[in-house]
Structure 1
């Protein structure tokens, strides 16, 4: 007999091993359909993970941060498959979730342009509509702390860090928005749990957080999330582009920019400037919120 303890403390008994998805289905069909992963004794696993002994189990959906990150991580696989179908000679490098979205890096025989992204996005939508399964085939431990597994999406295979969503049908609210680089190019996109969330993200922001290089990506994203919790319309640009390019691009259409480098990350603050070039200097997150949205911070 296998004993499964759920997050509310309730206990369920099963007479044989079962997957995370099957546990979800015994709770409700709606939960099973919404599941993108599970936690087994605190460890994130795929929905197909087989539970063979007593465990504490919770079901992960896109409505929580880990679930949303899994959606974005799975979009990288679907992007790679779409690109290989359209450009068979493209060489795969690596993909990852990144802030509000994801990216995948490729080496192409010729550089792609921004105008080609709609075709790639359309192919991704076709793959999502076909509702391919995403299955973990084998797992191996790399030299890093991340565990790589071989995942199969349709007839496409790639080594990636899991877990991933069980099927592509949950990958609906996504968009490709940028391509950077020359000989090796990164295609960037965003992904959300609903079209409404995607539309909200597309609305013009009050504040754009930009990082100097990839070392500050996690901190820049955490700043963005802190601003959103205080009801500011904030986005972040975490692309691997020169900071001067990002500032120049966003200054034309965003009222305020928050720049983060190593100094800002270590100190827990940002360097603030307006789109018109006014320099507000170094500021803590609370000070930024008080300046831009005083009604939510107790200011006048």
Structure 2
């Protein structure tokens, strides 16, 4: 049998017979390596502890107390929930059941509505299943065999999922615990006995595959944790979050409303809320003037060809709204950048004119699905403190440093700590490799020059350029995306922006997209929850 070479996190190395289970390889390194492990990471890929290892590489244990480990645990809990539901309600059809940020869910097709009493029965049955300590076993079968299996089980949704896989996918993986088998990529915990703390939360409607034209299913939400203590702390956190919920406080303080008669995701500001917003926006204008920005204003709609030229039509169309005027198509702006570029392009620019800093408290519209809308923090119309800086490549570093300093100042004024991420090139990007490399290197060098600690967020840049994201932390230590700096070589190229350099020749400027507070609506929502409605005196709408 062939040998494989394995490297551990402490850089020690060992050789093993090919096919040894990941858990055994980890236990060979340290006896307690798998004590709290729920999975393994092999060459940056998560696998089961029982998975045979057939390749050279680096291996590590995925501890249940880590975010990745809890996610694996919750995914496994969703499977035992599905098993419990089918045992108690045999006519139920199962669909999908992933882990999510704070828990898990599973969608069921069932003609009767699940009641709170049903959830209690399901929880009790789940506890019985967990106590059996049944192993999660994985097997790979041909897609034809899987289709036949789920047809016999009367599970049409699983059959549909398999049939919709790409033609080159010849096999699928199945997981079984006890008498329940599910279509799943995994990984999963070794056995149901690892499940120590869980709670079913509520039932909601959900369209199959998120498509409103499909059948409405019942989604059971739940959460799970490594220990009962972890779960107890979570529910204390949830109660505090409810106390601070900006939707409740917004109504109590008479700040704003969201009215379904008007439309979802559309905010109506009451006098006190409008005053709070005005205080913030006036502060923004004053601070931007101090930092050499010019205030500009752009229209709400622009002709379709502008969005085609910018790349938004190819990469952002699903998030836009469109209209027609006199047989001419228009896009309602989801971003403010195009008008700002037209201001730049309105006359010949010299290197002596740069940098130019255009600032707009610009209202934009983005098509968000109804299911993700949430008070002020996820809306369809919002205003952002949007600025675009056009500069020479030599000025890029100093401009980024100035923006970072502005963010630091603003977060201090409003009382927030924050973390920093560098988000790199996504799969749907536009622009050349060279431009992306230059832009990313410029942002990273600027971050190093600030001395800020930062993480790399691979593949999460904008489609036109990499970005620095500043994620503020509220009183409950939740992170919120607000400030961002995006470096863009692509749009100046697409719109043929240039300046006359000292050599008398045309040169291409670099464009920085940036916001400081981001969406004013979202920022106010976060602000309400951070202060639980008790604003600092200078922000209080009622003095």
Is TM > 0.5 for Structure 1 vs Structure 2?
A: yes
1:180 to partner: Cα distance: 1.9
Give the equivalent residue in structure 2 for 1:165.
Answer: 189
From 235, 250, 257, the counterpart of 1:202:
235
Alignment of 1:249-268 (within 5 A): none
1:175 and 2:199 matched? yes
1:143 and 2:166 matched? yes
Q: SS at 1:143's partner residue?
A: coil
Over 3 Å counting, the alpha-carbon distance change for 1:33 and 1:209 in structure 2 is: farther
Q: Is the 8 A contact 1:148 1:162 kept in 2?
A: no
Over 3 Å counting, the alpha-carbon distance change for 1:209 and 1:109 in structure 2 is: same
| RMSD, matched Cα | 3.9
1:283 and 2:523 matched? yes
1:24 to partner: Cα distance: 2.1
TM-score normalized by the length of structure 2: 0.41
1:231 to partner: Cα distance: 7.2
1:98 to partner: Cα distance: 1.7
Q: SS at 2:129's partner residue?
A: helix
From 121, 124, 128, the counterpart of 1:122:
124
1:233 and 2:476 matched? yes
2: CA distance between counterparts of 1:23 and 1:229? Answer: 40
> How many residues end up aligned between the 2 structures?
251
1:281 to partner: Cα distance: 3.8
2: CA distance between counterparts of 1:268 and 1:191? Answer: 36
Give the equivalent residue in structure 2 for 1:53.
Answer: 55
1: CA distance between counterparts of 2:139 and 2:38? Answer: 17
Structure number with greater CO (CA < 8 Å, separation at least 6) is 1
1:70 to partner: Cα distance: 0.7
Structure 1 gap ranges (5+): 237-257, 261-266, 272-279, 294-300
Structure 2 gap ranges (5+): 144-161, 207-215, 248-367, 379-417, 420-470, 483-514, 534-543
Give the equivalent residue in structure 2 for 1:37.
Answer: 39
- Going by fraction, where is strand more abundant, 1 or 2? 1
1:216 to partner: Cα distance: 7.4
Over 3 Å counting, the alpha-carbon distance change for 1:270 and 1:119 in structure 2 is: farther
Over 3 Å counting, the alpha-carbon distance change for 1:31 and 1:69 in structure 2 is: same
1:14 to partner: Cα distance: 2.1
**If you compute each CA radius of gyration, which structure gives the higher value, 1 or 2?**
2
Alignment of 1:83-98 (within 5 A): 83-98=85-100
TM-score normalized by the length of structure 1: 0.70
Over 3 Å counting, the alpha-carbon distance change for 1:208 and 1:284 in structure 2 is: closer
Over 3 Å counting, the alpha-carbon distance change for 1:234 and 1:202 in structure 2 is: farther
2: CA distance between counterparts of 1:284 and 1:13? Answer: 57
Measured against aligned partners, the alpha-carbon deviations of 1:164-200 in whole angstroms (never above 9, x if no partner) come to: 1111111111100101239621111011111111001
